Amino acid sequence: MNTDSFVFDALEAGQYQTQWQAPSNIALVKYWGKHGEQLPKNPSISFTLSQCVTTTAVNFSPREQGDAAFDFLFDQKKQPEFHPKIQQFLERITPFFPALERHHLSISSHNSFPHSSGIASSASAMAAMALCIVDFEKQFHSDWTEEAFLRKASFLARLGSGSAARSIAGPLTVWGHSKAFPQSNDHFAIAPAVEWHPIFQNYQDTVLIVDKGQKKVSSTLGHGLMQGHPFATQRFEQAHTHIEQLKTALTTGDLERFIDLTEAEALCLHAMMMTSNPRYVLMQPNTLSILQKVEVFRAQTQLPLCFTLDAGANIHLLYPLQYRIPIMDFIQEELVVHCQKGQYIEDQVGNGAQKI
Ligand code: DP6
């Protein structure tokens, strides 16, 4: 794809203030491996969440020569450890919106979920920041459709963090070219115009916090280890096949197939980490205890509960809203004991970002 159409320079520097809320997302088919400038090695698909969100306000003002590009507050406090990631994001997106060089950005951010809960916040954080920036740009495009706006927001968010491309729209978004979704591409995520089966409306995601700590290997490093990985080719092919099969399960409401594919993806992601060079394990004993209990519970009750994992020890439990009561009872009675300080977060599928 020629990305020239994403370049736009505003005519003059101005004052502007905006605020956006962007959701976190949970991948069903995982993005693991990238190339070039934040381009995925395989397509991924995710549920957009509704409760785990980042809210970000940005105040744009004309920048004098020598002024800093931005200042940043997280929960009203200065947090310099976030600066390198924001700096890198702004550097990557400036070629697509050179007017940023003539503005100072005062950024203030807040997460709805506990900070350091072990829940990745880079997707929602980068998406919220990208939305504020595209909202600023929008003033100069009187002809922009909603679709063009969301497309550019996802394009910029991707440059901050790959999975952030999928944190703009909902309820399901696809990033990376897949035969199953004709409009899909590597540069921005789309919310396919597909009639998903109603069972997936309000699908529940209970996030079990097994470990609140910093991951010992970051996702960015993990993606890099797919370069030269002995199973890389097979893995990328598998993701293509899985996304096609998952599309069928998601449109027909075939929960057995949905569970099979979702859990296979989660374990394959971790298998890639365990077989990279260097190899590493992010699951913990409590992660495995939970996975085993979920398997037994499903076999005994026949309830369609399944798990997925991100690149960490925490577990996302996915299930239809109608089974919430027995499943929450099971979580409280059997699984909370494996969570750090008994912590879990209740979330569900949502419809995407909003302007505040
Ligand atoms: C395991 O989007 O965090 O969550 O592009 O380097 O910022 P960067 O990586 P990131 O990778 C997330 C990987 C994953 C799977 C997924 O969300 O698809």
pLDDT in tens, 307-356: 999 999 999 999 999 999 999 999 999 999 999 999 999 999 999 999 99
For residues 264 and 308, what is the distance between their CA atoms, to the nearest angstrom?
9
Share of the chain above pLDDT 70, in %: 98
Query: Ligand 1 centroid vs 216 CA: distance in angstroms?
Result: 15
Tell me which residue has its CA closest to atom 7 in ligand 1. 161
Q: Which amino acid is at 14?
A: G
For residues 71 and 87, what is the distance between their CA atoms, to the nearest angstrom?
10
For residues 303 and 53, what is the distance between their CA atoms, to the nearest angstrom?
29
DSSP 65: T
Q: What are phi and psi of 173, to 5 degrees?
A: -130, 150
- Ligand 1 contacts CB of residue 167 (under 6 A): no
Q: Are 42 and 240 in contact (CB under 8 A)?
A: yes
Report the pLDDT value the prediction gives residue 116, as an integer from 0 to 100.
61
For residues 269 and 82, what is the distance between their CA atoms, to the nearest angstrom?
26
Q: Which pair of structure tokens corresponds to residue 143?
A: 């002809």
User: Tell me: the pLDDT tens digits for 208-250?
Assistant: 999 987 777 888 899 999 999 999 999 999 999 999 999 999 9
DSSP 231: T
Q: Which pair of structure tokens corresponds to residue 330?
A: 């099971």
Task: Supply the mean pLDDT for the chain.
Answer: 94
- Ligand 1 contacts CB of residue 162 (under 6 A): yes
Top mutation candidate among 88, 92, 163 for ligand 1, by most atoms within 8 Å of CB: 163
Q: Are 34 and 27 in contact (CB under 8 A)?
A: no
Query: Ligand 1 centroid vs 284 CA: distance in angstroms?
Result: 20
Host H or E run for residue 66: none
Half-sphere exposure of 336 (CA within 13 A, CB side): 13
In angstroms, how far is CA 31 from the centroid of its own chain?
Answer: 10
Q: What are phi and psi of 193, to 5 degrees?
A: -80, 70
Q: Are 244 and 43 in contact (CB under 8 A)?
A: no
User: Tell me: the pLDDT tens digits for 1-38?
Assistant: 778 888 877 767 689 999 999 999 999 999 999 999 99
Neighbours of 91 (CB within 10 A): 12
Q: Are 223 and 34 in contact (CB under 8 A)?
A: yes
Q: Using CA atoms in the order 276, 277, 280, 282, what is the torsion angle rounded to 10 degrees?
A: -40
Is the backbone peptide bond immediately before 278 cis, with ω within 30 degrees of 0? Answer: yes
pLDDT at 115 exceeding the cut of 70: no
Q: What are phi and psi of 73, to 5 degrees?
A: -120, 135
117 confidence band (pLDDT: 50, 70, 90): low
Report the atom number in ligand 1 closest to the C-alpha of 310: 1
- Ligand 1 contacts CB of residue 54 (under 6 A): no
User: Tell me: the pLDDT tens digits for 164-189?
Assistant: 999 999 999 999 999 999 999 999 99
Top mutation candidate among 48, 168, 219, 268 for ligand 1, by most atoms within 8 Å of CB: 219
The pTM of this model reads 0.95
Tell me which residue has its CA closest to atom 12 in ligand 1. 163
Share of the chain above pLDDT 90, in %: 85
Q: Are 24 and 314 in contact (CB under 8 A)?
A: no
- Ligand 1 contacts CB of residue 220 (under 6 A): yes
Q: What are phi and psi of 213, to 5 degrees?
A: -75, 170
Residue showing tokens 């992010």: 282
- Ligand 1 contacts CB of residue 310 (under 6 A): yes
- Ligand 1 contacts CB of residue 112 (under 6 A): no
Report the pLDDT value the prediction gives residue 334, as an integer from 0 to 100.
98
Top mutation candidate among 223, 274, 314 for ligand 1, by most atoms within 8 Å of CB: 223
Full DSSP string of 272-325: HHHTSSS------HHHHHHHHHHHHHHHHH----EEEE-SSS-EEEEE-GGGHH
Report the pLDDT value the prediction gives residue 341, as an integer from 0 to 100.
94
86 confidence band (pLDDT: 50, 70, 90): very high
In the chain, which residue ranges form alpha helices assigned H by DSSP?
83-93, 122-138, 146-160, 219-224, 232-252, 255-274, 285-301, 324-330
- Ligand 1 contacts CB of residue 121 (under 6 A): no
Report the pLDDT value the prediction gives residue 139, as an integer from 0 to 100.
86
Report the atom number in ligand 1 closest to the C-alpha of 34: 5
DSSP 67: -
The residue-averaged pLDDT of 40-50 equals 98
For residues 251 and 218, what is the distance between their CA atoms, to the nearest angstrom?
34
User: Tell me: the pLDDT tens digits for 140-173?
Assistant: 888 889 999 999 999 999 999 999 999 999 999 9
Q: Which pair of structure tokens corresponds to residue 326?
A: 């027995």
Report the atom number in ligand 1 closest to the C-alpha of 122: 3
Neighbours of 288 (CB within 10 A): 13
- Ligand 1 contacts CB of residue 27 (under 6 A): yes
For residues 261 and 267, what is the distance between their CA atoms, to the nearest angstrom?
10
